[in-house]
Structure 1
Amino acid sequence: MDFDLILRDARIAGSADRTADIGISKGRIAAVAPELPKGAPEKCLDGRLVVPGFIETHIHLDKSCLLGRCQCEKGTLDEAVVAVAAAKRGFSHDDVYERASRTLEKAIKNGTTRMRTHVEVDPRVGLTSVHALLRLKKDYAWAIDLQLCVFPQEGLLDDPGCEDVMVAALEAGGNVVGGAPYMDKNSHGQIARIFALAQRFGIDIDFHLDFGLDTTHLDALEVCRLADETGWGGRVTIGHVTKFSAMPSADLDVLAKRLADSGVAVTTLPSTDLFLIGRDYDGNVPRGVTPVHRLVERGVNCSISTNNVLNPFTPFGDCSLVRMANLYANVVQIGGRPADMELCLSLVTDRPARLMNLRDYGIAAGNPADIVVMDCADGASAIAELAQPLMVFRRGEMTVSRPAATLMRPGAGQADSAAA
């Protein structure tokens, strides 16, 4: 078999106890074997970990990098919504494109090869952000697959004309429909309309849901009911759901079974939820981060994602999903066993691939050669030590290269590599 490139001595995530060679041909993985024959260009990975590209399931490119335009003092969700709503009135196509491209490039440099970005549409911003991100999707297709999830941040039922704009956005090229039911007085009414749009266009759903800490009302239950009723199980995701973090273990177990039975996936957004939740507490502030590892143990598919970057919702962010998974592990106090860290890695790789219903993901023959080489030897180390991506390949072409750090010892005459 002829190869365009061979990556030798790789440790593949999920089976990092042994090494293998990866043969690439015409942008796809052609073979994975202990020792492929010579005859093609090679890169020796020296036993480093390889993952099939990180996957960002929930990020907001259109409203990233807004800190200089928004003056916020309280740090609450309501304040952030109002501040960004005001900033949106000044959005232009080029403005959205420029800020979004800055953020997208950070994600690409950190090894993200697939992404679902949520994009706000309403009668005021119209399709400005949608068109800018569709252009971005085309311009950066050499490095990343980009999905657009259109949603009404400021309400749907209570914002006349918003549904018409959402329909136009989906007709223009939106891939997924989303919602933020807590922004309407009738949250169940919004959920029903989002399901109706999903059925009309034959697309997946991704909600912002159950934000807060009051567990007496959970919109997640209505989402599960409609997923069952419509047969949309396996095509619905709910994000944030910070209320889950406040639930007693027994209640969370019951809810987990309901979610698993209905095929509703869950995305946790540690940075944003840590920043926004519990602002009214004076001491012993709750974390507000959904313990998705516990949901996974009970059959729910889950992911960890970034959400907002450098805006009033989250004034931080370098778009590293390894860093986000590490933050999650710290917050929910897991990691005593290597398997726990491996689970965190799966929450930014293969589990989000299932969440997005990707059929061509993974280091296996026939799949696209979307590959990230990490500066470590196993998945647990990647998360625990915040390992850096050294090389990123998209369809077999290198899109990112980062040299491993070296120690320049005095008088040694030779640099010592700090790579694993």
Structure 2
Amino acid sequence: MTFDLILRNARIVDRPESPLDIGIKDGRFAAIEVGLPKGEAPDQNLHGRLVLPGFVETHLHLDKSCLLGRCNCDSGTVQEAVAEVAKAKRDFTEEDVYRRAARTLEKAISHGTNLMRTHVEVDPRVGLTSFRALKKLKQDYAWAIDLQLCVFPQEGLLDDPGCEEVMLQALREGADVVGGVPYLDRDAHGQIAKIFQMAREFDVDIDFHLDFDLDPAHANFGEVCRQAQATGWGGRVAIGHATKLSAMPRADFEAAARRLADAGVAVTVLPATDLFLTGRNHDHNVPRGVTPAHRLRALGVTANISTNNVLNPFTPFGDVSLIRMINLYANVAQIGRIEELAACLDMVTSESARLLNTKDYGIAVGHSADLVVLDCETKAEAVCEIAQPIFGFKTGIRTFVRPAASLLKPV
């Protein structure tokens, strides 16, 4: 067989027989084995560097990224963030949203992300402005990244007249996922039921912002689990933040994890935002508010790490680097065992792809030739050293390069 390209001496993630050669043809992995014949195609020696299928971002807000300078960030509370963005988005245009989102998306691509779910605010004030801008962005950047659009009501659904109609129109126009923020309606369970109704009508997955405070006594995840089981939507539902779980005693946490696992409800932990917004009423011993995703996984829950917000009042920093995010998570979660550090990488790759129900993910013969090369040899090194991606491919086409740093030693 002839190939379009051969990547030699690749240390493929979770393939202990590495290093291997990877043959790419017609945008797919055509061969993965030791010592592919030389002279059959252009080749590149990776010198034992780690190769991944690419990073997977499951929870980001492209439409409201890069708003610093337009919004106040004085108290650092979620209430302030919602109010400030609500004011700012009244002036959004499709061109403005597209420009800011493209800036953020390009950073994500250059950091090795090639699969993403972004949440998009739709309501009677912003209408479909952001959704239509991101729909165009999805088309324009399909050469480098697969983008899912999750429409949701940031300012409430049942208590915001006209919002349901806007969400339904977005779903008619091709939104991939539907989301909700139950704690912003007086009838949180009513919003949850409405979101499940929409998901069933349009046959789409669900992704909630849920249980975003530190009082575990009033959690909504149980109702989400009940609805997932009652409707048969298990495996198609995710909840983001779930910081209430971080405040539970071990026995309660384990019971909650079993409930989530049994119902097929996944959890996305968002370390940067959760650290920034939670515990604002504490003046000492400030709680982290970061749910231990690795402990959820150990109890059978699909759990991953994601970015959430970038350069806005919800999170006034960030570069959309998922390798940096899991390093932050490992620090906060006090993870030190090599196998647990290595498993952190799964929570921005294979586990995240599982949450998105991705069918063609992974470095295997016949799969789409999507990959990222990190400047390290092991998964644990990637997490501990924030190993940088040096290049990536999407369907066999090189999408970015970030050459490894080199010292200019005096002769």
What letter is aligned with 1:60?
H
3-state SS, counterpart of residue 234 of structure 2: coil
Structure 1 position 148, deviation (Å): 0.0
Give the whole-Å Cα distance in 1 for the aligned partners of 2:364 and 2:10: 13
1:250, distance to aligned residue in structure 2 (A) = 0.8
Aligned-pair CA distance for 1:17: 6.1
- Displacement after TM superposition at 1:338 (Å): 1.7
2:238 maps to which residue? 237
- RMSD (Å), alpha carbons: 0.7
Q: Secondary structure at the match of 1:116?
A: strand
Cα deviation, residue 16, structure 1:
5.1
- Which residue does 1:125 correspond to in 2? 126
Which residue pairs with 1:364 in the alignment?
364
Amino acid at match of 2:410: P
Question: Aligned letter for 1:2?
Answer: T
Q: Give the whole-Å Cα distance in 2 for the aligned partners of 1:390 and 1:185.
A: 48
Q: Which residue of structure 2 aligns with residue 321 of structure 1?
A: 322
Kindly state the Cα deviation for residue 36 of structure 1 after the two structures are TM-superposed. Answer: 1.4
* Residue in structure 2 matched with residue 398 of structure 1 by the alignment: 398
Measured in 1, the distance between the counterparts of 2:217 and 2:250 equals 15
Give CA-to-partner distance per residue, 1:310-354, whole Å, 9 cap, x none: 0000000100000000000000101x2221111100000000111
- Counterpart of 1:187 in structure 2 is 188
Gaps of 5+ in 2: none
Map 1:17-416 onto structure 2 (within 5 A). 18-38=18-38, 39-334=40-335, 336-411=336-411
Distance (whole Å) between structure 2 residues aligned to residue 152 and residue 41 of structure 1 = 50
Give distance in 1, aligned partners of 2:127 and 2:166: 6
Matched residue count: 410
Partner of 2:69: helix, strand, or coil? helix
The Cα offsets for residues 194-241 of structure 1, whole Å up to 9 and x where unpaired, read as 000000000100000000000001100000000000000000000000
Q: Distance in 1 between matches of 2:334 and 2:227?
A: 34
Q: Deviations over 1:108-140 (max 9, x none)?
A: 000000000000000000000000000000110
Matched, 1:5 2:13: no
CA shift at 1:34, angstroms?
Answer: 1.6
CA contact (8 A) 1:16 1:378 kept: no
Residues 21, 32 of structure 1: 8 Å contact kept: yes
TM-score (norm 1): 0.97
Aligned-pair CA distance for 1:72? 2.2
CA distance in 2, matches of 1:219, 1:276: 19
Deviation at 1:18, TM superposition (A): 2.5
- C-alpha separation in 2, matches of 1:14 and 1:25: 23
Give the conservation status (yes or no) of the 8 Å contact 1:179–1:206.
Answer: yes
Q: Distance in 2 between matches of 1:135 and 1:18?
A: 40
SS at match of 1:407: coil
* Identical columns (%): 65
Distance 2:198 2:342 in 1: 37
Deviations 1:60-86 (A, max 9, x none): 000000011001210000000000000
Query: SS of 2:206's equivalent?
Result: strand
Contact 1:16 1:49 (8 Å CA) reproduced = no
Q: Which runs of 5+ in 1 are unaligned?
A: 412-420
